[in-house]
Chains A and B, each alone.
Chain A
Amino acid sequence: MNGRVRKWFVATWLLAVAVLVGCAAPKAPGAGGKDPIRIGLLVEETGQFAAYGEEYINTAKIVIEDINKAGGISGRPLEAVYYNNESNPEKAITGAQKLIRDDKVVAVVGMGLVANSNAVAPLVKEGPVTYSLSGAYVPGHKSIFAASVSVPDMQLFIMDWLKKRGMSKLALLTPNDASGQAAEAGLKQVIGKAGLTLVGAESFNPNDVDVTTQLTRLRDLKPDAIMCWVVGKPLGVVLKGYNQLGIQLPFVASHGNLSHTFLDSLKDIQPKTFLIPATKDLAWRELPENDPQAKVNKEYHEKYLQRYGKEVGLGGGTMYDALYLLADAMKKVGTDSSKIIAHLEGVRGWAGVSGVYNFSADDHRGLGLKDAIMMQVVGGKLTLAK
């Protein structure tokens, strides 16, 4: 390199560095307008949980626009800073670090996948207040809240529901991975409490092409119903076998499968009685007018349907409620984490999309058995089960 070229080279580098530094520098607050309040969204836009991620993002857009149209939070606009965690705990950790350190958000919302919630939890111990959208996650610190009805409550609800209809013997089919083992262990804990007996449990590899052997074994134990705790494609293989064997027993699937497109794709092979537990928002069309959740659900679902042209499944409502709960809290007590937490813990009888919330210092979920309903899939469509 001769001297002249080198000089140019160095100059270009300096320029590039200057530009980069300029970009990274924090932006000055806009003249005139008030500082926005930033909320971090850490969602599963891609990866195995992408169907939920899409609902989270779509819903967050609706909610934030509506809040800002109505004057924001005490005059300050709400601004979302969003990162895709790729359904991957490592990415969730990096995203959370950026949200806390660089973006200085007031709250973090997202992480529908339990592994992502677990990964982020230690980072937000000292705040900011964090809302996990996972029903399987158990909130471990003061600063964390969790959405939806918990998995053990959902399982207990299923047991009660079956019991009330005279069914007492249950057979269980789970995938042989971590989620399946957790589901089986959880179920074994609640099943006795509910007064049912587990007559048999089988497992299968989520990549299996045939599970008729396991299904035959379970069928031969003469249960009153068969429950399968798996999400997505493997459920299709299980139902294919169920259909092939002509099993007429009621079939219960986990609420992770509450995606309208997926259920529609199963319509040719769905069992005669195909049950899935859910929160009330999935039955929004059938809620009686005097139900406290009826109005908010109608408003939200119609808006979503109109804007995105499709029905929203289980995920959207959790994001909707989390954002409105946080916004309400910030309107009343400002943006200090400990004040928001104290306020949320005092919320009682707050009717949202997913349920009626009753928080306390020990209950950071706020929803329970009363918020669960049983849905039945008929012809690929969800209706309230009788």
Chain B
Amino acid sequence: MSTLFWQAMVGGITAGSIYAAVAVGVSLVYNVSRVLNLAQGEFLVLGALCMITLTQVFSLPFWPAFILVMLLTGGLGLAMEQLAIQPAHRASIPVLLLITLAVSITLRGVAMIVWGKDPLALPAYIPNQAIVLGQVRIPPETVVVGAFAVAVTCLLWLLLDRTPLGKAMRAVAENPDAATLTGINVRAVRRLSLALSGVIGGAAGVLVAPLTFVVFDAGLLLGLKGFVAAMLGGMGQAFAGIAAGLVLGVAESLSAAYISSQFKEATTFVILLGLLLVRSRYSQ
């Protein structure tokens, strides 16, 4: 195979693992609360922006800043549940979707006011040296982000499938009323799921930031791509989300390599459209 093919694969996997990291958060919340969280991309951006402030303005070392960022975005997820989702938890799915959209627009506005509109850079946390395999060069962050997505998915799978808490979370997703009757604290479980997705988003943001530069409105496209990946993965299955993210990234990258870079953006949505059509046929 040519260098172009392999380099396109690497580029695709880089982008794909970012989509996967978003998809993990999106499907976690959906699985527990039946809320499609369009603000997941904003968690990433805010995580990255907070990290830049903590390391560059307050000159904290990497790890303490990283942990603080996860606490902050986790808190943000919690606040989002408390202030925006919970008051409307009886609302229909489209209404909840609109609420998360409103939250994402608000967060973007806040980020613009606090951090301004200029792109900000987070210096590389690992040596800025590409890994060279023959003709192909792999950015080290790709490996980190990919490993992160896999690790988080494994942990979530363990949590959901192997612990009593996970069982409770699945029960809430299945039937909140019945779960309440069996003594599960439905609200607490829902809060936990959003807080967790906040933590995951913030951490992913920190890891992704050196790859892309961070600008206040980057979350919109990331959120959308992650959302498509989660849909492709069928929402429920933990590992399918990751695979779908990677497929999406690689499909985009290969279409840029072999069809035209003008066509790259359309690829995502053609795949989504095709999938939705097939699904709706299948479910009839």
Chain A residues engaging chain B, CB cutoff 8 angstroms: 46-48, 50-51, 176, 202-205, 207-214, 216-217, 220, 232-233, 236-237, 240-241, 243-246, 261-262, 265-266, 268-269
Contact = CB atoms under 8 A, between A and B. Distances in A.
Contact of A216 (B7, B15, B215, B221): B7
A205 B265 contact: yes
Nearest to A267: B121
B109 to A, nearest CB: 13
A233 B18 CA distance: 18
Contact of A210 (B130, B137, B253): B253
A210 B210 CA distance: 12
B117 A244 contact: no
B256 A244 contact: no
B118 A205 contact: no
B119 A244 contact: no
Instruction: Specify which of A47, A209, A217, A268 lies most central, judged by the most chain B CB atoms within 10 Å of its CB.
Output: A209
B139 interface: yes
Most buried by B among A212, A214, A233, A236: A212
A212 B139 CA distance: 10
B65 interface: no
B211 interface: yes
13 contacts: A50-B117, A50-B118, A176-B265, A204-B256, A207-B218, A210-B253, A212-B10, A216-B8, A236-B213, A243-B128, A246-B137, A261-B118, A268-B123
A176 B123 contact: no
Given A202-B261, A244-B137, A233 B215 contact: yes
Nearest to B208: A209
B82 interface: no
Nearest to A245: B137
B264 interface: yes
Interface residues of B, number: 38
A232 B128 contact: no
Nearest to A173: B261
Interface of B: 3-4, 7-8, 10-12, 14-15, 18, 117-121, 123-124, 128, 130, 132, 137, 139, 208, 211-213, 215, 218, 220-222, 253, 256-257, 261-262, 264-265
A217 B8 CA distance: 9
Contact of A214 (B121, B218, B261): B261
A217 B11 contact: no
A220 B262 contact: no
Contacts of A211: 11
B121 A213 contact: no
A210 B261 contact: no
A343 to B, nearest CB: 39
Given A237-B213, A246-B130, A246-B137, A213 B257 contact: yes
A103 B8 CA distance: 57
B262 A203 contact: yes
A238 to B, nearest CB: 10
Nearest to B128: A268
Nearest to A262: B118
A208 B18 CA distance: 11
Contacts of B265: 176, 205
A109 B4 CA distance: 49
Taking each of A51, A208, A210, A212, which has the highest tally of chain B beta carbons within 10 Å of its own beta carbon? A210
